[in-house]
Amino acid sequence: MASFAHKAITLGHPTGGVTVDNWKQVAAGWTEGKVARDGEYVEIPLMLADAAAIRAYDSGEARELSAGYACDFIWGDGVAPDGTPFQATQRQIRGDHIAIVPKGRAGERARIGDGATTADRDKVALEVAMQRAQHHRKFAFLGDRAPEFNEQSATLRAQAKINDEATAANREFFRSAQYR
């Protein structure tokens, strides 16, 4: 598991894996150093830093994760603890990269578990509620003739505001002495 620390995040699996010769062309981010087991899965903090990979993730085009690795195969029949028969086991697994893919073999549970997404949704919902209240206060004197509150426009404005705040916070962090 630890071999997946500090590895490249790629958009799809690069042919031949990630090497010092192709890293700049294929890396879309990286994993951090903390690798922990989470039930049947592995939890690894990661950072996406490539616009194409972020767009693919945000659009839902590529949401699942797939591990790229090398290993030694040990051939021999057996039965896994869950009762599944097998013909080989993998040993000495060495992480090469983590790919963002449309569909991974591990299924939809092998994904980016972005806690910030949930927090951002909550922030957007709160901002929309505040805009709705402000709209109703502003046009209350018109009664039935008040313009209708546009939920979709309010959501877009709220998302832009949250993104602007996050961008400003990131900019401030990178300017800080803590980063240098």
Phi, psi of 136, rounded to the nearest 5 degrees: -65, -40
Could you read off the pLDDT tens digit of each residue along the chain, which spans 180 residues? 788 889 999 999 999 999 999 999 999 999 988 888 877 778 888 888 888 888 888 888 888 889 899 999 999 999 999 899 999 999 998 999 999 998 888 777 777 776 555 557 788 889 999 999 999 999 999 998 999 999 888 888 887 787 777 666 655 655 655 444
- In order, the DSSP letters of 15-74 are TT---TTTHHHHEEEEE-S--EEETTEEE--EEE--HHHHHHHHHTSS-EEEEEEEEEEE
Domain ranges within the chain, ordered by starting residue = 2-101, 115-175
Q: The pTM is what? A: 0.59
The length of the chain, given as a count of residues? 180
**DSSP structure class, residue 1:** -
